[in-house]
Structure 1
């Protein structure tokens, strides 16, 4: 159809003509020289549109900013835990600003998904920036993973190659969150209907935020918590252990100090952070040359960890002690190694060192709280 001509023309190597009626097709077959192919300048379409959100707007929160950088460099899932007004949402919304720009092939993938969902804002355009999807906590399972009589992609596929932000994670229904487990592990979702099965890609970085308790102020330095231990336990029981195992970075976000709120000097901007992220990802890609399916450290499997994350004796002793003390699962332990590998890449270190593992263990906040 003519309306889809520009959309099809973005694929390299294709000569595309758009028609609205079969008579136009017949005329083309008889007189091809009378028709002009659709021409699209992919370089123009891929021109990045800089967003207005920048890390320089974030005051203080050094550890949370560091966790964002690690998440971006390694493709790690992340959750912020802190009281209302501590900046959890502000931080999460700035993650796309430090992610590497989409490559052309990635942009094609993202554009195809948005086209199937009917969400392309303008015909013949590429989605040239990484998606950021933020479904409401009342979202249903099908809206999250996709569905319908004629299956369409859900939020996790619309976030492919980008960020899925789940604000107030504990307000989502537990059965809805359980839908995330398989896509987080496999990078795709399968929707089965009576006559067909459809597979949609879902390689995204999950960023979540939540209060530490029902009242929101457990551990706050200013306002006391009014919750009982039982209510806090019930609150966290909404999140299953297997789901939390899949979140690599668990970060406590404290209330911003008054002196930080009034300081005039902005924080570090997104661009230099993005440059460090790209350098770390390039080190990972160089390491993964024989494994083209691996895009970043979060994609590594157990066999890759044995090859690329060997530990010296002090590091192994430290990790084993943390596993025993925190009661970590094998999956959570593997994720500590992946995060440690990313921290080493940010430090331009070929081998994991003890302080890389120590920092990675610090990001198991929820394991320490339980």
Structure 2
């Protein structure tokens, strides 16, 4: 009779249950693994054989067949080593695991029997809980991330002998996580930024409504400095958001401290990155930067230095808030609901609009900025110019710069209004509003409507750009604690597209 051990497999950000069936019969010695297994799974035969022998047990010289069910779904990785080894030991009566059906097992075995960590352990635990499993046998180094959930009973082990002793004697209590370490304090603070009042206001509006923003300005004006401080003014992660982003980092193996992520991500890929590293993919269908920035900030410094094809690939994630990756090995969907922040120079020499003379012609500037296509620019809500820093801004001690905590309080208030407004929707920020939501929550009076009509006709705005102005206006009204959008809010929102209208379109 075949032995059945419970395990799981990853599919994007989710997991599905896998039954590891082990059957040992008489015949010519062989070891076969079936069930649409990839190379890493098939190679587990040698790891399992050596781990069993080096742990002091006998490896059967018989016909061994391992089936990973369901057989029609692809299995990847090395996490099946442990359940296969336990199945073989049970099938040869070297151990007795009477209630094995209550546990989910996962782990990679080394040749000497150590149990190595695997990627995506948290995702598997969450899937097991949804299927009424509460007991999990995991590698010791995965214990921290797997114990994030309260209802799970985690049994971590460092090697095969420890696990087998537990199966024999049941002399161990579930791993208990004392407390989730919260890391919400930032070393970078907005009080470090001198001057730039208009730019900081634009950043505050963008953060309050989770709007995409591009910062334009000469070299050394502080674009990167300001962008790196945006996470310090964003609201804290909710528990649901923290679990979702932790699952993504667990799949990628980027949980360095094996703890829950409590800060909003800030991803800053270099401009030489490829489309695959930005969007995700490869043969293993791993998440890219757009997914690792989920719930946080994706910062593209020197945005115009990125390959144009790489920038164009952002269009779909910015619009749909998800990214579908399709390859010959399968298709997965990852969340990518991030706030895009771009920084770029306004011209090839970099000094257009600054105190230094610009040596570029109008043609040079338009050609330089043409790497940002119309469809991509349509998906940007706010354009802010970062001016040169004046000497008086650096030396003036009369007025103290606002701290990130002060700005965050205003942003939290605006977000609380949005959370209440969209309590019956599946989103929580103004930037995520659809057409029907805009009609309901962004009503204009006669003066505001006539101003917007003039701008719409003058600059031949697209419907998407029109909606962006309304969304930003709604956010400004929330910061201003106003129930309705007023003329001042519309004018400020239009101003955030003014540089775009005059110099790019």
TM over 0.5: yes
For 2:467, the equivalent position in structure 1 comes to 334
1:300 to 427, 433, 438: 433
For 2:178, the equivalent position in structure 1 comes to 41
Cα deviation code 1:111-132 (max 9, x no counterpart): 1111211111123x11111111
Tell me by how many angstroms 1:301 deviates.
0.5
For 2:18, the equivalent position in structure 1 comes to none
Tell me by how many angstroms 1:26 deviates.
4.9
For 1:212, the equivalent position in structure 2 comes to 346
Deviates most, 243-252 or 107-116: 107-116
For 1:279, the equivalent position in structure 2 comes to 413
State how far apart, in whole Å, the 1-side matches of 2:434 and 2:208 are: 17
State how far apart, in whole Å, the 2-side matches of 1:105 and 1:271 are: 23
Q: Aligned pair 1:84/2:219, yes or no? A: yes
Report the TM-score, using the length of structure 1 for normalisation.
Answer: 0.95
For 1:195, the equivalent position in structure 2 comes to 329
Q: Aligned pair 1:63/2:208, yes or no? A: no
For 1:145, the equivalent position in structure 2 comes to 279
State how far apart, in whole Å, the 1-side matches of 2:474 and 2:420 are: 14
Is the Cα–Cα contact under 8 Å of residues 149 and 193 in structure 1 kept in the other structure?
A: yes
SS in 2 for 1:112: helix
Tell me by how many angstroms 1:340 deviates.
0.4
Is the Cα–Cα contact under 8 Å of residues 366 and 503 in structure 2 kept in the other structure?
A: no
Cα deviation code 1:81-117 (max 9, x no counterpart): 1111111111111110100111222111111111211
For 2:484, the equivalent position in structure 1 comes to 351
1:240 to 373, 393, 415: 373
For 2:400, the equivalent position in structure 1 comes to 266
Tell me by how many angstroms 1:29 deviates.
4.5
Is the Cα–Cα contact under 8 Å of residues 70 and 343 in structure 1 kept in the other structure?
A: yes
State how far apart, in whole Å, the 2-side matches of 1:242 and 1:41 are: 49
Does 1 or 2 have the higher relative contact order (CA < 8 Å, sep 6+)?
1
State how far apart, in whole Å, the 2-side matches of 1:55 and 1:368 are: 30
Tell me by how many angstroms 1:151 deviates.
1.6
Tell me by how many angstroms 1:281 deviates.
0.5
Structure 2 gaps of 5+ residues are 1-138
Tell me by how many angstroms 1:41 deviates.
3.3
State how far apart, in whole Å, the 2-side matches of 1:59 and 1:150 are: 45
For 1:227, the equivalent position in structure 2 comes to 360
For 2:157, the equivalent position in structure 1 comes to 19
Report the TM-score, using the length of structure 2 for normalisation.
Answer: 0.70
Tell me by how many angstroms 1:27 deviates.
4.4
Is the Cα–Cα contact under 8 Å of residues 79 and 250 in structure 1 kept in the other structure?
A: yes
Structure with the largest fraction of strand = 2
Deviates most, 225-234 or 331-340: 225-234
State how far apart, in whole Å, the 2-side matches of 1:12 and 1:141 are: 38
Tell me by how many angstroms 1:251 deviates.
0.7
Tell me by how many angstroms 1:170 deviates.
0.9
2:265 to 131, 135, 147: 131
State how far apart, in whole Å, the 2-side matches of 1:281 and 1:26 are: 51
For 2:316, the equivalent position in structure 1 comes to 182
SS in 2 for 1:17: strand
For 2:98, the equivalent position in structure 1 comes to none
CA RMSD of aligned residues (A): 1.4
SS in 1 for 2:488: helix
SS in 2 for 1:213: coil
